[in-house]
Structure 1
Amino acid sequence: MSCETKKEQWIQIHDTTTPCVINFGKHAVDDHNKEKGDNLVFKKVIIGWYLEIDYNKTKLRLIIEVVNSKGEVITFEVVIVVDDKDGKTVKTVISFVPGHIDEKNPWTFWIKIHNVTEPHVQEIAKFAVEEHNKITHDNLIYICIIEGWYHVSTIPPVTLWKLHLKAKDCLGRVREYEALVKEEKLLPKHVLKLEHFIVIPKIC
């Protein structure tokens, strides 16, 4: 699988269990631990891609699993630039963020929103409820965001917002919903579009 644009082509790494790929994943974890004073332990590379910038420079995008001090397994997206020059290999980690892989498209990595009370995130959630009401002639009242994730695409400039939120219906029932909103950055303004809005059933 490859992710292709007019300017670049990401090519999937077919075997992520080779010592070379594993070393890149371990390097990213070691670099993070050193910089943040953390003690994550590398577990494995789930999937990965590479982009050839030039003959001596390659960018890697790896989805890895690590184990934290509580024994929890966490998924991270790692971006590393590998520069081979003067007989030496220089590895520079430019991104190390937690999240999860989209169930339908492994290229889409959802990054956790750390502050769901941030005004723009609240604006997205309120838009989702209002747009749902408009489309379905419903009367939900927005309450809050429980948690959320986002995915950024640069070509075209789009941000996808996946929000797990609470709203109250006309009977007074408080239910949880998943909203997916596409934000297109068309200067001078941003255009929002509700992709889906579904109730999250309670697990008994």
Structure 2
Amino acid sequence: MTVLEVAAVGGRALVGGHPLGDDDGADAGWGAYAPGTDLPAELVELLVEWGRAADDVARSGAAPRATDAVRVSRTGRHLAARVSVALGHSVDYCDPVTGVRVPLRAVRAVTRVPEVPLPRRRRRGRARVSTVFDEPTPWGTGLTLAALVGGLVLLTNLILALPMVAGLGFVGLLIDLVVVAGLVPALWLNRRVPMWRWAVWGAFAGMGVAVLPLLVVAVRGPAG
């Protein structure tokens, strides 16, 4: 069984090996797979912009788990599924970020394909990849997660540090701050990872709020 490949190389989206966006024979790449079938103009435009965005991410050197790289991969899979539905043919999606080939077989419908704005390549200067494939921000889920993590960090810090600060005063507060500061670099690395970023900022908030009661205890001085 012949399989149609959807990929992106050098800033160009490829369907069946044919780069989209060419004026000469727009269906040359998939005519042998689905004779007489054309891809919707909207889908072709999205694929073209996706190919450019994938190239921007590749040039930026972003890691596969970076936010922009994940968005490029996920959007590419959705667009490949739409190609399979539109042409009624099996598709292999070749991920431009990881190089992994994802087989899409017997796709009949794409239940959720986010209609997201794709960035235009800047003609001058370096393209910003931080705006690739903007998606709705999950404020409800994110803030709930941040609140839970923040409360847990606050409670844990107070339980562990209050007795020490009560006994040692400002010395105990300084020790607590040093311990907390040691956790900041590891948390900071995940500040842009989807979902984890909410936990990171919640942890920072919990640490910050915990300083206030600990400072009050330290000002009162060592017990006894």
Q: Answer 1 or 2: which has greater helix percent.
A: 2
Q: TM-score, normalised by structure 1?
A: 0.28
The higher-RCO structure (CA 8 Å, 6+ apart) is: 2
Q: Answer 1 or 2: which has greater strand percent.
A: 1
